[in-house]
Structure 1
């Protein structure tokens, strides 16, 4: 029996009608959209990442009381500094809130790999690489590294063979163990040598201080080696520590040797001067070795002998570096020259300036009264102090200020600062320090006569602003005469010799 299928003509008719209606409505809506004006573009608001405000915040802190006061750049990375602009009345005028400065980084956090590469570069390549060296530097150092790689590997086997040949032990494991201990000791020294190499340019301008510091480390290492006789069970750690100290001293001696010999050479004879100087050192070393062998036969007191020889060594080292006459003005000699000029109006001669240089002002010392090129946040904690002195230096490429809480003079450089601007800022910082010291001494004498509380002897913000304005006038009148007199005495000035920081103030975005 055949079944009849129901007719689907009605459903087909409905479907066709719906389709035509859908197409017609789509065309109508499209036409309306095409004829309508385009929607106004919503401007994209720049965002800044700031941990103090919980992540990304809008530029200029929209709807916030914080206002932009300064921009800073270090090695291509930028920071903006904001301060709280809430109404705080001081002396009848509105001021920023004290200690309200916030630093905002304008770049994402550094990738760990990039940070590691920056750290490695600071140890293995000179500052300013590749612009600071010739193209031949890379292939030379590549082959030199390979040479030392094979030499270090070969040294393990040669040391083991030497120890075995002198009869350390016939046991196969003993020479290997002794050799490994010896290599570990030497390896620790090499690591210390590598770490100290990060001092970089300090070997060029603070070479006297570093040379004497290296000799101090040499004697320290010798003393630690001497201590191994008292505690032989601690031989390996003590020997490693001694080797670290002595290898650091070796790096210092090697790095400062050429600049010192260069100061003695009058022509193109630096190689001859170096060779003869090393020969004199080797002859003296052999004579000292022979004398010590003769003394050792009498079995003298080890501690007494070491103390006497160390005193002679350090005294000779101090007089050695003091006798070097350098023509360049590093920070220590620049301080001597400026202070002498401010007191007497004369710049010391090369001989006088070098003899007055402080050998104990080591470059890593943090207790320095003058800081060149610091971070803005280190120089200023109060935004009002910056805004008060900033107009004074509107025509200069630097800003000089005094931070009473830290007792330091800070010279901040603008990004347009050239070599002469940095030298002028350093001179200005010394002038301001001289004015503040003179003022404090006068107030101290006056207050002491009146028997007032000397603990209140702290300069006010108005006093500091007056001192800075006075120093600006003095620098305008004295800087050029100082340069001329320094040049007459044969001094060579360069901003790189002063080792300024890399932070620079940028122009604010308009």
Structure 2
């Protein structure tokens, strides 16, 4: 509401009364609770609540008191009145006499405490400023940091004991050198792993969970130093390398996750509050662990319990993230659902069905995008037979029975949409072959091919590829349209295609 401007010059008594009446009516609409107006040093009567229906009384109090209402203000639902003081009614207002009067009753101490806590742990404008998945993510993140902080106490105690701090057998210089070498090895591991940075974009969830598993592995190796203190340096170096690599993974995946939660230009606020929640939980876990460690609990049992809590919280934390982009895993979920049900899953469904344990370094994926020619074809006749089918396309799709995989080869003219179409076509062909093979009895497949663990090639592979071409022509546009309606962002860069391209001979 725009402030009400009052003329400081003298006005008639009737004009003042009209001005006060209108001011009070506006104040009555804004006020939600009666204000506790102060009295002056001259013992002037307090101002009546602006929402009182007796406006004539209020007019007289404003006109015959030492206060004059200037304007009203609202901030986040809380309202104030600004009044100015004068020596007596009818006299000019004093300089620098504006006072703010709250229209709210004082908050209870509990509400004040909760408001203070919220200012540190949730973004401004919460919950409207973030997506619904923010709360479950931060809950599991806090729990993970709680277990991580608790575990850090035991691992630090173990390392200090193993290096010889609590003994008289090690000199301070030797202890310092071992500790510096341990930290130095960790920094080297962090630098070497940083070259994998591009993978943090398209396999974000998988690498985030893998990093947390690596963090637990490093903590376990640190605890082993208690059993073999003479191997402190190599074990501590290996553990620190693992933990620093995990730290790189956590740092690299943090921004894309927080970006998915921010509804506006508030990613900095979301990041700051998220890190604050993690630090608070870490401190609580550390404090609890210090109290537990004084009772000398079983190191193995304590580590097992804390480690299980940490891994479970990490898994649930990653699963709760809802991303709008289609990487390999979510693209596969979306296409499979589209081929089986005719609809593209929603953002929530697609993210929940994504396989978090499908790590990027595993080579058993059934679809290879942007593969080399020698991996896709061993028989020249297989290539020559399907080449005319893809004459107008900027890619080729085939199936290699010896490896049990579908290969999508990209031509040198392939653009972003061609790569997406090739990936879609590869999943369609995989769907045809899987459906055909599942219709055959297992005994027949084993008799014909002798491999139960590999997907056998259909006797009419060329027919399957022809059918897939027809289906892709009619359904690819529908798939893209439905994916966009569900809120998915389709980008070829997150599919991580290989760099091989076919050139025209």
Q: TM-score, normalised on structure 2?
A: 0.64
- Which residue number in structure 1 is paired with residue 219 of structure 2? 222
1:170 deviates by: 12
- Which residue number in structure 1 is paired with residue 356 of structure 2? 359
Which aligned pairs between 1:470-489 and structure 2 lie closer than 5 A?
470-489=467-486
**Is 1:455 matched with 2:419?**
no
Are the aligned partners of 2:436 and 2:458 in contact in 1 as well (CA < 8 Å)? no
- Which residue number in structure 2 is paired with residue 387 of structure 1? 384
Q: What per-residue deviation string (whole Å, max 9, x for no partner) do you get for residues 457-493 of structure 1?
A: 8856751111111111111111110000000000000
Which aligned pairs between 1:233-244 and structure 2 lie closer than 5 A?
233-244=230-241
The counterpart of 1:432, out of the listed 424, 429, 433, is: 429
- Which residue number in structure 2 is paired with residue 312 of structure 1? 309
Give the secondary structure class of the aligned counterpart of 1:504.
Answer: coil
Q: Distance in 2 between matches of 1:501 and 1:167?
A: 51
- Which residue number in structure 1 is paired with residue 333 of structure 2? 336
Are the aligned partners of 1:372 and 1:426 in contact in 2 as well (CA < 8 Å)? yes
The counterpart of 1:286, out of the listed 283, 288, 306, is: 283
| Structure 1 residues 460 and 295: alpha-carbon distance in aligned structure 2, compared to 1, 3 A threshold | closer
Q: What per-residue deviation string (whole Å, max 9, x for no partner) do you get for residues 363-406 of structure 1?
A: 11111100011111111122221111111100000000101111
Q: What per-residue deviation string (whole Å, max 9, x for no partner) do you get for residues 311-354 of structure 1?
A: 00000000000000000000000000000000000000000000
Q: Distance in 2 between matches of 1:410 and 1:327?
A: 26
| Structure 1 residues 254 and 338: alpha-carbon distance in aligned structure 2, compared to 1, 3 A threshold | same
1:445 deviates by: 6.1
Higher relative contact order (CA 8 A, sep 6+): 1
Give the secondary structure class of the aligned counterpart of 1:361.
Answer: coil
The counterpart of 1:256, out of the listed 234, 253, 257, is: 253
RMSD of aligned alpha carbons: 2.3
Give the secondary structure class of the aligned counterpart of 1:348.
Answer: coil
Q: What per-residue deviation string (whole Å, max 9, x for no partner) do you get for residues 275-301 of structure 1?
A: 000000000000000110111111111
Instruction: Count residues with an aligned counterpart.
Output: 340
- Which residue number in structure 2 is paired with residue 85 of structure 1? none
Q: Distance in 2 between matches of 1:234 and 1:460?
A: 53
1:444 deviates by: 2.4
Q: Distance in 1 between matches of 2:251 and 2:457?
A: 49
1:200 deviates by: 2.0
Q: What per-residue deviation string (whole Å, max 9, x for no partner) do you get for residues 55-86 of structure 1?
A: xxxxxxxxxxxxxxxxxxxxxxxxxxxxxxxx
| Structure 1 residues 270 and 307: alpha-carbon distance in aligned structure 2, compared to 1, 3 A threshold | same
Are the aligned partners of 1:169 and 1:175 in contact in 2 as well (CA < 8 Å)? no
Are the aligned partners of 1:385 and 1:461 in contact in 2 as well (CA < 8 Å)? no
Are the aligned partners of 1:444 and 1:454 in contact in 2 as well (CA < 8 Å)? no
Are the aligned partners of 1:415 and 1:505 in contact in 2 as well (CA < 8 Å)? yes
- Which residue number in structure 2 is paired with residue 84 of structure 1? none
**Is 1:179 matched with 2:172?**
no
Are the aligned partners of 2:197 and 2:252 in contact in 1 as well (CA < 8 Å)? no
Are the aligned partners of 2:218 and 2:239 in contact in 1 as well (CA < 8 Å)? yes
Are the aligned partners of 1:401 and 1:409 in contact in 2 as well (CA < 8 Å)? yes
Q: TM-score, normalised on structure 1?
A: 0.64
Are the aligned partners of 1:329 and 1:497 in contact in 2 as well (CA < 8 Å)? yes
The counterpart of 1:400, out of the listed 381, 397, 402, is: 397
Q: Distance in 2 between matches of 1:368 and 1:167?
A: 49
Give the secondary structure class of the aligned counterpart of 1:401.
Answer: strand
**Is 1:371 matched with 2:368?**
yes
Which aligned pairs between 1:140-289 and structure 2 lie closer than 5 A?
174-289=171-286
- Which residue number in structure 2 is paired with residue 324 of structure 1? 321
Q: Distance in 2 between matches of 1:274 and 1:456?
A: 51
Are the aligned partners of 2:218 and 2:238 in contact in 1 as well (CA < 8 Å)? yes
- Which residue number in structure 2 is paired with residue 491 of structure 1? 488
5+ residue gaps, structure 1: 1-165
| Structure 1 residues 462 and 187: alpha-carbon distance in aligned structure 2, compared to 1, 3 A threshold | same
Give the secondary structure class of the aligned counterpart of 1:247.
Answer: helix
1:180 deviates by: 2.6
Q: Distance in 2 between matches of 1:169 and 1:339?
A: 61
1:264 deviates by: 0.4
Are the aligned partners of 2:344 and 2:479 in contact in 1 as well (CA < 8 Å)? yes
Which aligned pairs between 1:62-141 and structure 2 lie closer than 5 A?
none
1:447 deviates by: 3.9
1:176 deviates by: 3.9
Q: Distance in 2 between matches of 1:167 and 1:291?
A: 23
- Which residue number in structure 2 is paired with residue 42 of structure 1? none
- Which residue number in structure 2 is paired with residue 86 of structure 1? none
Q: Distance in 1 between matches of 2:167 and 2:358?
A: 50
1:177 deviates by: 3.4
Give the secondary structure class of the aligned counterpart of 2:497.
Answer: coil
Q: Distance in 2 between matches of 1:180 and 1:383?
A: 62
| Structure 1 residues 301 and 169: alpha-carbon distance in aligned structure 2, compared to 1, 3 A threshold | closer
| Structure 1 residues 459 and 306: alpha-carbon distance in aligned structure 2, compared to 1, 3 A threshold | closer
Q: Distance in 1 between matches of 2:464 and 2:443?
A: 18
Are the aligned partners of 2:200 and 2:207 in contact in 1 as well (CA < 8 Å)? yes
